[in-house]
């Protein structure tokens, strides 16, 4: 038998972890997408431009995690 208070604590911890992952991954995606605009070296610009697909993937994945977090929060009240 599981303690309801412990279950709630575990849910909160899982939700906070989901929020943290969503923010970090989305920020990484934004950094990769905006990096070529701020890089001074042409080699770095080319490298970051080549990572556009990964940047978009990270941004979408981070936003999906954030969406899941807010959906969980809304359904729990």
As a whole number, mean pLDDT of residues 44-64 equals 91
Residue 8 lies in a domain: no
Residue 5 lies in a domain: no
Give the number of domains in the chain. Answer: 1
Say if CB 26 and CB 59 are below 8 A apart.
Answer: yes
Domain residues for the domain of 49 are 15-76
Residue 1 lies in a domain: no
pLDDT at res. 77: 67
Alpha-carbon dihedral 58, 73, 75, 26, rounded to 10 degrees: -10
Query: What stretch of H or E contains 12?
Result: helix 4-38
Where does the pLDDT of residue 53 fall: very low under 50, low under 70, confident under 90, or very high at 90 and above? very high
Tell me: the pLDDT tens digits for 57-69? 999 999 999 999 9
- The chain-wide mean pLDDT, for the chain, equals 90
Residue 46 lies in a domain: yes
pLDDT at res. 71: 94
Residue 7 lies in a domain: no
Residue 32 lies in a domain: yes
């Amino acid at each position: 038998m599981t303690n309801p208070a412990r279950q709630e604590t575990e849910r909160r911890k899982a939700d906070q972890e989901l929020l943290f992952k969503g923010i970090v991954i989305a920020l990484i995606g934004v950094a990769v997408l905006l990096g070529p605009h701020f890089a001074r070296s042409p080699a770095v610009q080319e490298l970051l431009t080549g990572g556009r697909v990964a940047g978009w993937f990270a941004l979408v994945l981070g936003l999906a995690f954030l969406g899941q977090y807010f959906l969980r929060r809304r359904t729990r009240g």
